[in-house]
Structure 1
Amino acid sequence: MLQFKIDKDKCTRCGLCVADCPAHVMDTADGFPLIAAEKEAGCYRCQHCFAVCPTGAVSILGLDPQDSTPLEGDWRPDPAKLETLMKGRRSVRRYKQENLEPELLQRLLEVAWHAPTGVNTRQVRFTVIDDREKLASFRDELMAGIARLVREDALPEQLAFFGDFVKLWEEQCVDVLFRGAPHLLVASVSDKAVSPLQDCMIALSYFELFAQANGVGTVWDGLAKIAINDLVPESLARLGIPEDHTVGYCMAFGKPAVQYARTVQHQGAMIHRV
């Protein structure tokens, strides 16, 4: 049930909610907006009507407008600082050996989950290893699985370089897979989603920017994704990732043990104007 309700004492009948409905399921009756029962199935549950109402007269999905953060005044971040954040973002491969505060970690995940998804399906699932000792144990199991493939000469030819990672780990304790990070985030989505891979990547991009805005280092961990998803797939069950999910990507993160002094200078953007 959509639980779509209008507070007629607050509604000015401006029509903004009806005009902004991307699914075109809203109409008006006696000047007040409504969603007919036969049209409810077509609702995207995007909450555009809820967000656009200037007086807070619209309620949907049982939500109270008073519980939302008002978008008033100069609420957007400083563009220059945001530009510096985006340009100054680095892939962090050196981390302090300590966990993030649980409250901060929860906030990073909650905010990142606001990322857009195809047709607003909102099916991205965050699987997170929230303790460095847990990640160390998982890393040991994953390395052991890859080492077994090396001994059995079962590594795919195009992934033979993973044998070098095992050697570095066994001989020098160099962790190439997770770079010594205390935490790991795996984004996955049901195979039935409209755009599973894209949804995961967008969600992780949101997570990374908000994490780095909070002083948390991140690294896009394609090596871990290959190891987990392709080389040692039994580790998916170990992480509790559903069998019908597509793993989009992995991200290692934690408190950085390195601080960069300036942005880099990439060449100009590749732009094709039509």
Structure 2
Amino acid sequence: MLDFKIHTEDCTRCGECARDCFARIIEMDDVPVIRPENEKNCIECQHCLAVCKPGALSIFGKNPAASKLLKGNLPEAEKMETLIMGRRSTRHYKKEGVDPELIHHLLTVASHAPTAVNQRNTTFTVVDDTDTMNRLRREMTEAALAALHENRIPAGYERIGNYVQGCEDGTDVIFRTAPHLLIASAPEKSLAPMADCHIAMSYFELLANSHGIGTVWNGIARALITAVLPEFKSRLGIPEDHLIACAMSFGLPAVRYHRTVQRPGATIRQVKF
């Protein structure tokens, strides 16, 4: 049951919810209605809840008053541009960790990222405890070095082998001393697992940066877990049927950047018919 309800006294009969319904299951019968036989086609996007200006519509038992209002609460465009252009890959971190409550709050917000047909199958696997991270750092580095010495680095991953070799002198090349690790995965049978996970991770990165948290996309850790040290996938609790799309190290930065960089510009092709 969708628990679709209309507060008739507040409903203006504008029909916006019906016009914006992707599944086209909302009809106007004086007020919006969803026929029982059409409920199965709902993709649970809640656009109807979001588009109702007076907050007269409820679905899944959601109270419109509990949603954040968009008017007056969106970031200024120029500041959003600075956040995007000022994003840097942080490779120097302080030892102390980020408050786990803040981490989980950021992940909850990032879970609002779009997914193919609103499947919402993205799973975040996070190391939010510094002691756990240090054990993972030590054990994965030791295992990676053993794989290197035993020539178990697969063909095509020579670059990863070179990075691992950099750990020989004790340098943390794999995790860059970051106190936390985040992995995004989704079932391989999802419609778009790679895209869904990368979009969600990008949302997390920008949100984390806005809180003063440094981030770096960790392709080394992802490659090790997926191609060299697959036993760590189960040890991290990632479901067997999941595709590991991307990984990110993060924490409080030990380096501060003071301005945006100056890129040459985007490659843009203008289409004309």
Shorter-chain TM range is: over 0.9
Matched, 1:2 2:24: no
Aligned to 1:259: 256
% same residue? 48
Aligned to 1:79: 77
What amino acid is the match of 2:52?
C
Q: Cα deviations across residues 158-192 of structure 1 (Å, max 9, x unaligned)?
A: 22344444443232x11111100000000001122
- 5 Å matches for 1:99-118? 99-118=97-116
Aligned to 2:55: 56
CA–CA separation in structure 2 for the residues paired with 1:128 and 1:36:
41
- 5 Å matches for 1:211-250? 211-250=208-247
Distance apart, 1:46 and its partner CA: 0.3
Matched, 1:69 2:62: no
What is the DSSP-based 3-state SS (H/G/I as helix, E as strand, rest coil) of the residue aligned with 1:184? strand
CA–CA separation in structure 2 for the residues paired with 1:163 and 1:21:
50
Aligned to 1:188: 185
Matched, 1:206 2:203: yes
| Stretch moving more, 95-104 or 206-215 | 95-104
CA–CA separation in structure 1 for the residues paired with 2:161 and 2:267:
36
Matched, 1:271 2:268: yes
TM-score normalised according to structure 2 size? 0.96
What is the DSSP-based 3-state SS (H/G/I as helix, E as strand, rest coil) of the residue aligned with 2:22? coil
- 5 Å matches for 1:128-167? 128-167=126-165
Q: Cα deviations across residues 54-85 of structure 1 (Å, max 9, x unaligned)?
A: 1111111111111111222x322111111111
Q: Cα deviations across residues 210-255 of structure 1 (Å, max 9, x unaligned)?
A: 1001100000111111011111011000110001111110010000
What is the DSSP-based 3-state SS (H/G/I as helix, E as strand, rest coil) of the residue aligned with 1:207? helix
CA–CA separation in structure 2 for the residues paired with 1:45 and 1:157:
44
Note the aligned Cα RMSD (angstroms).
Answer: 1.3
CA–CA separation in structure 1 for the residues paired with 2:177 and 2:131:
11
Aligned residues, how many?
271
Aligned to 2:24: 24
> Does the Cα contact within 8 Å between 1:18 and 1:49 map onto a contact in 2?
yes
CA–CA separation in structure 2 for the residues paired with 1:210 and 1:39:
37
CA–CA separation in structure 1 for the residues paired with 2:233 and 2:206:
26
Structure 2: gaps spanning 5 or more residues? none
CA–CA separation in structure 2 for the residues paired with 1:90 and 1:139:
23
TM-score normalised according to structure 1 size? 0.95
Q: Cα deviations across residues 99-154 of structure 1 (Å, max 9, x unaligned)?
A: 10122112111111110111011111000000122112112221222222223222
CA–CA separation in structure 1 for the residues paired with 2:205 and 2:45:
23
CA–CA separation in structure 2 for the residues paired with 1:237 and 1:189:
14
> Does the Cα contact within 8 Å between 2:100 and 2:129 map onto a contact in 1?
no
What is the DSSP-based 3-state SS (H/G/I as helix, E as strand, rest coil) of the residue aligned with 1:44? coil
Q: 1:71 to 1:160 in 2, by over 3 A?
A: closer
CA–CA separation in structure 2 for the residues paired with 1:195 and 1:233:
22
Matched, 1:197 2:194: yes
Distance apart, 1:88 and its partner CA: 0.8
What amino acid is the match of 2:247?
C
CA–CA separation in structure 1 for the residues paired with 2:253 and 2:111:
23
Aligned to 1:174: 171
What amino acid is the match of 1:151?
H
